[in-house]
A and B are shown apart, each in its own frame.
Chain A
Amino acid sequence: MPKEATTANRSFSNSFGYAAEELSKTFLSPLGIVAGIIVILGLIITVLRFTGGLAAVTNLSDYNPWGIWIGFDLLTGVALAAGGFVTSAAVYIFGMKKYHSAVRPAVLTGFLGYVLVVVALHYDVGRPWRLPYPFILQQGTTSILFEVGACVALYLTVLFLEFCPAALEWLGLKKVRDLVIKLTMVLTIFGVILSTLHQSSLGALFLIARSKLHPLWYSSYLPVFFFISSIIAGLSMVIFESTLSHRYFLHKMDAAHLDEREGVTLGFGKAASFVLAGYFIVKVIGISEGNHWHLLATPYGIWFLVELFVFVALPCYLYAIGTRDKNQRLIKFTAVWTVLGVVLNRLNVSLVAFNWHLPAADRYFPHWMEIAISIFLVTVGIIAFRVIVSVMPIFYEHPDFRKNH
């Protein structure tokens, strides 16, 4: 049992002291040094962004107003953070108690993911301090982006509250913690509603740009595609995060966590296989509804088929084999492959299929500083994850709060 797990003689400031200690320890390992360099570089580019404008650090143009900060940080980030609502729903709504140990790590991943999405947004929009304007000043209710913004803001609050009990247990604030725990059911349901809405609406953002998106990716079913693939992304990210955590944070895990681990991988792998099958079917229906079969023979069509077969059909099959053979390694590999597939899909919609009709000179490729900032934000997220799981009861049950589920 990790030694920080008792409240004996622990004060508020002691807790933060432990956290600060863990934070500084992060940069001591070889990987930590690399992370440190990335962070320093990121901070420098941040200054450049806010002194020289977007032109100084991006390759954005009037034809390409959205680059990887939207295509990756926002669209992909939100999809990959979907593990929170998927796991909470499985455990609390569908009553699958055997996945209970996966809830806190999934909620943490989701919470950090959404925080990073909001931070990334501050880099991308022209006047980030005006981000509250749509809510407090003038509501553009005809805009899908308004709905995305409202749902993301609310969902961030939900995730924060779902994450709170772990932090409150760490700080020893029992009364507040017990109060917040009572909200679990309401938060879970509200979280599923909000997630359904904004995951699908991120796809709906592109509905208005019908003339700019390649017909194989443009569909009135875009919201459905994005929602289903977010579930797939969430399930796979939980497996992926579990794989990494078992490698680097094994000493933090209690018996329940270690016992349930293989069951989570198998169960989530099976679910992912099934949802991937459904996703494949609706994508094919999308082609049929648009009568776009002939487009499959074009270069873009080949690329679409690569996305569909290599990154949807293949992982569906591999997950199924892994489930049948109870092959943990295969499922873990497939999870990484599936996550890459969702990344590919989001980038395809926002950057590859978007403006497909423009001449090469007008197409977009990210500036290295844009890539650096994206890596910087992911690195900060990983560091935060590391510090939090090192000091808070994420992978173990706090001894003072056991049997409260």
Chain B
Amino acid sequence: MGETIFTLHEFMLQTETITYIIVAISFFVILFFWIFLTKLDGE
């Protein structure tokens, strides 16, 4: 997967960047999922 990671700093740069993106996407996913679930109740 591209260049090897040599330092803890590089490792965390990669993990945290990907994680932040996942968090941002998840927020919208969970929001739309909630709307979907509550619509099922017919509210």
Contact = CB atoms under 8 A, between A and B. Distances in A.
Direct contact of A and B (CB under 8 A): yes
Interface of A: 139, 141-142, 150, 186, 190
B13 A141 contact: yes
Given A142-B13, A150-B20, 6 more contacts: A139-B17, A141-B12, A141-B16, A142-B12, A142-B16, A186-B31
A141 B17 CA distance: 6
Contacts of A142: 9, 12-13, 16
Nearest to A142: B12
A141 B20 contact: yes
Binding site secondary structure of chain B: helix
A190 B27 CA distance: 9
Interface in B11-43: 12-13, 16-17, 20, 27, 31
14 contacts: A139-B17, A139-B20, A141-B12, A141-B13, A141-B16, A141-B17, A141-B20, A142-B9, A142-B12, A142-B13, A142-B16, A150-B20, A186-B31, A190-B27
Contacts of A141: 12-13, 16-17, 20
A84 to B, nearest CB: 20
Interface centre among B9, B12, B16 (most CB of A within 10 A): B16
Nearest to A140: B13
B28 to A, nearest CB: 11
Most buried by B among A139, A141, A186, A190: A141
A139 B31 CA distance: 26
Contacts of B16: 141-142
A225 B13 CA distance: 27
Contacts of A150: 20
A200 to B, nearest CB: 15
A135 to B, nearest CB: 11
A6 B17 CA distance: 50
Nearest 9 CB-CB pairs, A to B?
A: A141-B16, A142-B12, A141-B17, A142-B13, A142-B16, A141-B20, A141-B13, A142-B9, A139-B17
A142 B17 CA distance: 8
Nearest to A141: B16
A230 B5 CA distance: 38
A142 B9 CA distance: 7
